[in-house]
Amino acid sequence: MIQIIKKGVLLNRREFCLSLIVFVYLVFSFSVMSHYSNVVFLPYLQFVFFLLENYLTVSVYYGIRQSIGTEQFKLHDVFTGGNRFFGRVLWYKVLSLIFILVVAAFCLSMIELVKDAPLITTGLITAFTVIWLSFPVYLFLLTVYAPLIIVSDDVPLFTAIKTSMLFIRNNLGNVVKLLTIFLPLWCFAILLLKLYNGKGLVFQFCIFYIVSLLEIITVKVFLFFYRGER
C-alpha cells in the first residue's frame, strides 16, 4: 500500500501537464458559472458543463492510464483517445444520478410521513428506512470503481459495474484504507474552496491547482491499486 501511494504521488512531466488541463478547466468553469449564476438559461449551462466535465474525466483517466503504462503517447492523444469511453462513463453517471434522486425522493417522502407522527412511530419508520436503504446503497457504493475500470480495461458498462462490485468487495479493507487517506484531503480542499471563494484571485488559483494535483494523484493511486490487486 505504501509503495502504491509513493508511485501515485511521484508525478512525471505528462501527469503535471494533465494537472494543468484540469486546472484550466476548473478556472474556466468557475469563471463562467460565477458570471452566469443568475441567468435564465443556467440549467442548460450546467448541462453543458456536465458533458464537458465527463469528457475531461475520461480524457484524464486515459492520459493517466497511458502515462503509467509502457505505451508512448503525445498529450493531444489524451483527448482523441478518451473519446471512446465518453458514452459509457456518461451512462454510469446518469444511472448513478437517477439512483441518488430515487433515494433522496424516498427519504423526503419518509420525512413528510413522520413529521407529525409520535416519537415512537418516527423512530420505527426511520429505522425501517435506514435498514431498507442500506443494501441498495451498499451495492451502489460497490460500483464506484466502474468509470476507472471502463477506461483501464476498455470494457462495456455493465461488465465494468460487475467487475467493480467484485473488486471492491474482495478488497474492501484496502479500499477503506485509501479512502481514509484521501477523503480528508478532499474535504480539506473543498473546505478551502468554500472558505476562500472570491477572497483573492491568486490564492484561489493556488487552491484550484492543489485540487487539480490532488485529482491526478488520487486517480493514479486508485488505478495502481486496481491493477496491482485484480
At residue 71, the pLDDT reads 58
Query: Where is average pLDDT lowest: 56-70, 123-137, 175-189?
Result: 123-137
For 181, other C-beta atoms within 10 Å of its C-beta total 13
Q: Please tell me the distance from the alpha carbon of residue 32 to that of residue 125, in angstroms, as a whole number.
A: 44
Query: Where is average pLDDT lowest: 25-34, 86-95, 152-161?
Result: 25-34
- The pLDDT of residue 222 is above 70: yes
User: Could you tell me if 22 and 54 are in contact, meaning their C-beta atoms sit under 8 angstroms apart?
Assistant: no
At residue 74, the pLDDT reads 72
Reported as a pLDDT band with limits 50, 70 and 90, residue 157 is very high
- The pLDDT of residue 204 is above 70: yes
The average confidence (pLDDT) of the chain is 84
Query: pTM of the predicted model, to two decimals?
Result: 0.86
At residue 201, the pLDDT reads 72
- The pLDDT of residue 164 is above 90: yes
Q: What are phi and psi of 169, to 5 degrees?
A: -60, -40
Question: Which one-letter amino acid corresponds to residue 222?
Answer: F
Could you give the percent of the chain with pLDDT greater than 70?
91
Q: Rounded to the nearest 10 degrees, what angle do helices 13-35 and 42-68 cross at?
A: 180
At residue 110, the pLDDT reads 73
Which of 77-86, 125-134, 207-216 reaches the highest mean pLDDT? Answer: 207-216
User: Could you tell me if 17 and 75 are in contact, meaning their C-beta atoms sit under 8 angstroms apart?
Assistant: yes
Q: Please tell me the distance from the alpha carbon of residue 151 to that of residue 61, in angstroms, as a whole number.
A: 7
At residue 165, the pLDDT reads 93
Q: Please tell me the distance from the alpha carbon of residue 1 to that of residue 94, in angstroms, as a whole number.
A: 32
Higher pLDDT, 44 or 199: 44
**CA-closest candidate to residue 151, choices 82, 90, 87:** 82
